[in-house]
Structure 1
Amino acid sequence: MRIFTAALATETNTFSPICIDRRAFEASLYAPPGEHPATPTLCTAPITVGRGIAVEKGWELIEGTATWADPAGLVNRITYETLRDEVLGQLKAALPVDAVVLGLHGAMVADGYEDTEGDLLSRVREIVGPNVLVAAELDPHSHLTAKRLAAADVFVYFKEFPHTDFVDRAEDLWRIVVDTLEGRVKPVMSVFDCRMIDVYPTSKDPMRSFVDKLMRMEAEDADILSLSVVHGFMAGDVPEMGTKMLVVTNDRKEKGDVLARELGLELFSKRGTFIMPQIDEKQAVSEALAAASWPVVIADLWDNPGGGTAGDATVILEELLANGATETAIGTIWDPMAVQICMAAGEGARIPLRFGAKSAPDTGNPVDGIVEVVRIVRDAEMRFGESLAPFGDAAHIRLAGIDIILNSTRAQSFDPSLFSVMGIDPTSKKILVIKSTNHFYASFSKIASQILYCSAGTPYPNNPAKTSYRRARRDIWPMVENPHGNETGA
């Protein structure tokens, strides 16, 4: 067997002021054919898992380009077209192939392309024809469109949020690919539109129990090849935005359709109960300062670079400074210009510095002060599961007893190694402020005495009922209370 694999991925917050060009892909991951490292990034696990499958089976794996940009706003048109055509050219050169296995995100939007993954998959199908297997692994924070379904044979999405299972789901995808190519199964996809948009952390019920149920069903029913909840991405202003239930069966389309509907309506019946309780910055800082055990983690959950924001909001920092907080560390505030100034000054320098809150309104105010440059790290990285996440040239500064990490490559706070690589022992602090909605949970929960989910400012469109969408549909919850009518019994 000859199988082509590649990855082209990012997550587009269409409300973000930060556009993505080729440099953004190169800053996060750009690996030409054969140069992908042994460890996967979030959307490139099909490549690294595929290497092992190819060796085991004695098949030929033809690797194309693998590239990923950290989430932000609109992708530059020429950048998308150039990277797309690079991958498509590699596919053409690899022909004939028996299958195409891709690593995608599912929420990319480029200038002139509302459905970039649909565009890419359609072009792949045109190249390989109707009889070649086309498969992809995707992030659940994405848009499942009719165009994508028409072009591909099988999709598998991460089940966990935080996305700790991207390698496991790549293995699931490859199992289906192998079984299909060897004639044991015929994957058929069934989709139910849940007609809702929400946030679904699997670190707590009810989503934890729902995902556990899906995995039991996969294990117990031979007809079911894969079950995925496509969460949707509320910061993507596109026509097919929303939550979908995807069932992949072994040539049992009618059964899959019924099951997708049942599970989708069950998910809908729990609407509004998934996301963690949130408090504002005043309450978060007050509770953290009053805590009796440490560290207390304050998650600045909506200033999340993983959702496409800048990650430069200062609302919580300003509240900490106003309350005289010490023994506190903040990771991170994105400010490439401030990082350059700190690098020029050097470690040990004390300098006047203005930093933060430069990207958008309602993210606080730039902070001014005399800071100590404690540590400079070039090309800094933190752990994220089995992979490493870069956060660029970074500076550890100290202001009024608060340790602050400034970074030049936007990245959410995945792991406590974010602090340790900058010379900060996270377990020695009373308060840790991080920027992440839920990906942080798997690692930070191991060291936190308490986690406070803080909604501070409005860097992210987190209330779909009030978001000023121009392209997204308005016939889903919470824009309307019950778009399914009596179907749910609600």
Structure 2
Amino acid sequence: MKIFTAGLLTETNTFSHFETTVASFEETGILRGPIDAGALGSVGQVVEQWRTLAARHGDELVEGLYAIAQPAGPVLAADYAHLRAELLAGVQAAGALDVVLLYLHGAMVAQGEDDCEGDLIQAVRAIVGPRCRIGVELDPHCHLSHAMTQGADAIVLMREYPHIDYAERAAELFRLCRDAATGATHPVMAVVDCHLVGFFPTTSPPMRGLVDRLAEVEGRPGVLSASLVHGFPWGDVADAGSKVLVIADGDPALAMRTAEELARAFYRLRVDLIPRLEIMDDALGDLPADGPPRILADAGDNPGGGAPCDHTVMLSALLARSTLRSAFGMVWDPETVQACLRAGIGASLRLRVGGKAGPTSGQPLDLDVTVRGLSEHHTQEVGRIVDPLGAAAWVRSGPVDIVLISRRQQTLSPSAFTNLGVPLHEARVIGVKSSHHYHAEFSKLSGDCRVIETGAALSMDFARLPYRKRGLNFFPAVDDPAPHLS
């Protein structure tokens, strides 16, 4: 059996003023097959899984373009056309194929194209014809469209948030598509719109229970796969919002009944799933004198959702508490990093930190700092993934250790601090720029993790997001937008 794999991933915040370009993909990395399985973070895990499974079955595997960019605003039209053409040229050059496996995000928007993934899948279908099986692995923060489900034979979404199941879902997708290619199964998909817009971490109830229910559903006769679409709230496109996707074996009615069952369960939790954010004064007001540190997530300035990563409200609040040892990071400020590199370790200087990228960055802070650590090539590690962060500096201002970086990225691991020498064990509070991905690694330090409202770019007041293309019949904008799911 001959299998082609490729990937093109970014998550587009249509409200962001940061353009996504080919250079944005090059910063993270554009790879062309055969792929180094140690590269590009999650891409390496997916590639390694597909490669291992193909070898086990004696299949021929052809790897094409893999490109990933940090979330930001829409991709420039010419740049999307360039990457699209290269990916499709790889499909064409591979010749007759039995299976195509695509690793995509699902919320990529380009100028003039609101559904990049649907467009790509349909274009691949036009090349490979109806007999080839097309499988797609998506992020749960996607916009699941009709073009995607009509063009693909199987779509599987990561079910965990934080996303720790890239490889498991890649294996599931491989199995689904290979079984279909051999004629062992006949996958059919059903999608139900849940009319929800929200933020759904899966590490605690009630979302944890809903995710665990997927395994029970997949154990039923005839059900091949079940996925929850969280949706990406900061993408103003027609298909934005939460959905349920079920794949059954040749039985459309079973797929639809099961999807409706899960959609009702999701919808009935809608009030309980509303994010409960704290403000800084409350989060610091009841801090115990000892014990594990308190982890505060600046979700609104999460670059993983397209935010600038240089908002200063949380940092300012920590600095105001002169006796509270804390650590804060990572702040995207390449200019300040360069000033620290020029000054050297041990230097004392006055720096303007953060608040520079645009109107959603807050005010810059003029701080007296001491440079405590430097790196020309800073990294953070998440499991086996080594995430490059560019040149970086650790500075101390008053009681706060601050990590400054040159490559915009959310804080995923304590190693973002400790690889520069920051003594995290001294911190009573650790502030991180992330919505929930930080939880996978930082929860090993402390179970006291809180999401903070700082007024930054990624507002979780979902009812008031300035949608123009996405319809407004959703919860929480409407109390009961889908009575048939109640």
| TM-score of the aligned structures, taking structure 2 as reference length | 0.96
Structure 2: tracts of 5 or more residues without a match? none
Q: 1:214 to 1:73 in 2, by over 3 A?
A: same
Match of 1:239 in 2: 238
Letter in 2 for 1:266: A
Match of 1:392 in 2: 390
Moved more, 341-350 or 120-129: 341-350
Letter in 2 for 1:277: R
Letter in 1 for 2:362: G
Letter in 2 for 1:74: P
Q: 1:35 to 1:255 in 2, by over 3 A?
A: closer
Moved more, 327-336 or 34-43: 34-43
Tell me how far 1:323 sits from its aligned partner: 2.1
Letter in 2 for 1:25: F
Match of 2:129 in 1: 129
Tell me how far 1:362 sits from its aligned partner: 4.8
Write the distance in 1 (CA, Å) between the matches of 2:27 and 2:271.
37
Q: How is 1:335-354 mapped onto 2 (pairs within 5 angstroms)?
A: 335-354=333-352
Moved more, 64-73 or 374-383: 374-383
Write the distance in 1 (CA, Å) between the matches of 2:79 and 2:286.
45
Match of 2:453 in 1: 455
Letter in 1 for 2:342: A
Letter in 2 for 1:29: G
1:7 aligns with 2:7: yes
Q: 1:209 to 1:291 in 2, by over 3 A?
A: farther
Q: How is 1:72-87 mapped onto 2 (pairs within 5 angstroms)?
A: 72-87=72-87
Letter in 2 for 1:437: S
Q: How is 1:390-469 mapped onto 2 (pairs within 5 angstroms)?
A: 390-448=388-446, 450-469=448-467
Write the distance in 2 (CA, Å) between the matches of 1:346 and 1:332.
19
Q: 1:27 to 1:100 in 2, by over 3 A?
A: same
Match of 2:319 in 1: 321
Structure 1 residue runs of 4 or more that deviate by more than 6 Å after TM superposition: none
Q: Deviations over 1:361-416 (max 9, x none)?
A: 35431011222121111232212244222222211111113110011111111111
Write the distance in 2 (CA, Å) between the matches of 1:449 and 1:55.
41
Write the distance in 1 (CA, Å) between the matches of 2:35 and 2:461.
41
Tell me how far 1:350 sits from its aligned partner: 1.8
Tell me how far 1:101 sits from its aligned partner: 0.2
Write the distance in 2 (CA, Å) between the matches of 1:425 and 1:171.
39
Moved more, 446-455 or 188-197: 446-455
Write the distance in 2 (CA, Å) between the matches of 1:325 and 1:188.
60
Match of 1:286 in 2: 285
Tell me how far 1:344 sits from its aligned partner: 2.1
Write the distance in 2 (CA, Å) between the matches of 1:360 and 1:284.
27
Which of these residues, 334, 337, 359, is aligned with residue 357 of structure 2? Answer: 359
Q: 1:132 to 1:325 in 2, by over 3 A?
A: farther
Q: 1:385 to 1:192 in 2, by over 3 A?
A: farther
Does the CA-based 8 Å contact 1:43-1:138 persist in structure 2? no
Letter in 2 for 1:105: H
The DSSP-based 3-state class of the residue aligned with 2:137 is: strand
Q: 1:68 to 1:362 in 2, by over 3 A?
A: closer
Q: Deviations over 1:25-45 (max 9, x none)?
A: 122122122133336633564
Does the CA-based 8 Å contact 2:135-2:177 persist in structure 1? yes
Write the distance in 1 (CA, Å) between the matches of 2:274 and 2:425.
27
1:265 aligns with 2:302: no
1:254 aligns with 2:253: yes
Match of 1:488 in 2: 485
Tell me how far 1:348 sits from its aligned partner: 2.1
Write the distance in 2 (CA, Å) between the matches of 1:19 and 1:236.
14
Match of 1:145 in 2: 145
Q: 1:182 to 1:139 in 2, by over 3 A?
A: same
Write the distance in 2 (CA, Å) between the matches of 1:306 and 1:471.
23
Letter in 1 for 2:104: L
The DSSP-based 3-state class of the residue aligned with 1:465 is: helix
Match of 2:332 in 1: 334
Write the distance in 2 (CA, Å) between the matches of 1:279 and 1:428.
24
The DSSP-based 3-state class of the residue aligned with 2:111 is: coil
The DSSP-based 3-state class of the residue aligned with 1:277 is: coil
Among all aligned residue pairs of Structure 1 and Structure 2, give the percentage whose two residues are the same amino acid.
Answer: 37
Write the distance in 1 (CA, Å) between the matches of 2:262 and 2:465.
27
Write the distance in 2 (CA, Å) between the matches of 1:222 and 1:390.
44
Does the CA-based 8 Å contact 1:39-1:48 persist in structure 2? no
Moved more, 132-141 or 446-455: 446-455
The DSSP-based 3-state class of the residue aligned with 2:359 is: coil
Does the CA-based 8 Å contact 2:210-2:265 persist in structure 1? no
Letter in 1 for 2:410: Q
Q: Deviations over 1:254-284 (max 9, x none)?
A: 1111110111011001103125521112222
Write the distance in 1 (CA, Å) between the matches of 2:44 and 2:474.
32
Write the distance in 2 (CA, Å) between the matches of 1:170 and 1:445.
26
Match of 2:477 in 1: 479
Q: Deviations over 1:114-151 (max 9, x none)?
A: 11111111111111111111111010001001111111
Write the distance in 1 (CA, Å) between the matches of 2:296 and 2:323.
13
Q: RMSD in angstroms over aligned alpha carbons?
A: 1.6
Match of 1:62 in 2: 62
| Number of residue equivalences | 486
The DSSP-based 3-state class of the residue aligned with 2:113 is: coil
Q: Deviations over 1:43-85 (max 9, x none)?
A: 5644221110121111111000111111111112222111111
Which of these residues, 348, 351, 375, is aligned with residue 377 of structure 1? Answer: 375
Q: 1:158 to 1:198 in 2, by over 3 A?
A: same
Structure 1: tracts of 5 or more residues without a match? none
Letter in 2 for 1:269: R
Moved more, 402-411 or 426-435: 426-435
Moved more, 317-326 or 404-413: 317-326
Match of 1:105 in 2: 105
Letter in 2 for 1:327: R
The DSSP-based 3-state class of the residue aligned with 2:435 is: coil
